[in-house]
């Protein structure tokens, strides 16, 4: 059965303190791995799609990478506005599966 595990569950960072979030997955035939950001009281907001191992994508302070077993979301020199829950989702040949998310808090 397809599985998605995100770690850590929560992450507290000082402004400017870079870190990485992990999304480990087990899937039969990866068709896409997605990163979303969700602010309290709002729906998720799309960030990236990755399709194959070795692929990387960047957007402002965020960079997503993909291997055959996991994806990382690197946050470089975060700012308080980067505080949110980051969700990873994986699609194999079964249904789309989301991880439980990593809640990131960036303090000034």
Partner 1 sequence: ETGVTQTPRHLVMGMTNKKSLKCEQHLGHNAMYWYKQSAKKPLELMFVYNFKEQTENNSVPSRFSPECPNSSHLFLHLHTLQPEDSALYLCASSPATSVSYNEQFFGPGTRLTVL
| Residue 82 main-chain phi, psi, to 5 deg | -85, -5
Residues 35-74, mask of contacts with partner 1 (x by CB under 8 A): ------xxxxxx--x-x-----------------------
Say if residues 85 and 6 touch (Cβ distance below 8 Å). no
Residue 100 interacting with partner 1 (CB under 8 A):
yes
State the number of binding residues for partner 1 (CB under 8 A).
Answer: 22
Give the CA-trace dihedral at 22, 14, 45, 103, to 10 degrees: 60
Catalog residues that contact partner 1 under the rule CB under 8 A. 4, 31-32, 34, 41-46, 49, 51, 87, 89, 91, 95-101
């Amino acid at each position: 059965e397809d599985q998605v595990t995100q770690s850590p569950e929560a992450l507290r960072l000082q402004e400017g303190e870079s870190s990485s979030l992990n999304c480990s997955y087990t899937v039969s035939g990866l068709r896409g791995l997605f990163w979303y950001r969700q602010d309290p009281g709002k729906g998720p907001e799309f960030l990236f799609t990755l399709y194959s191992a070795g692929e990387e994508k960047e957007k402002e302070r965020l960079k997503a990478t993909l291997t055959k077993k996991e994806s990382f979301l690197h946050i470089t020199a975060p700012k308080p506005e980067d505080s949110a829950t980051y969700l990873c989702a994986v699609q194999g040949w079964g249904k789309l599966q989301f991880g439980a998310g990593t809640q990131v808090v960036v303090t000034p």
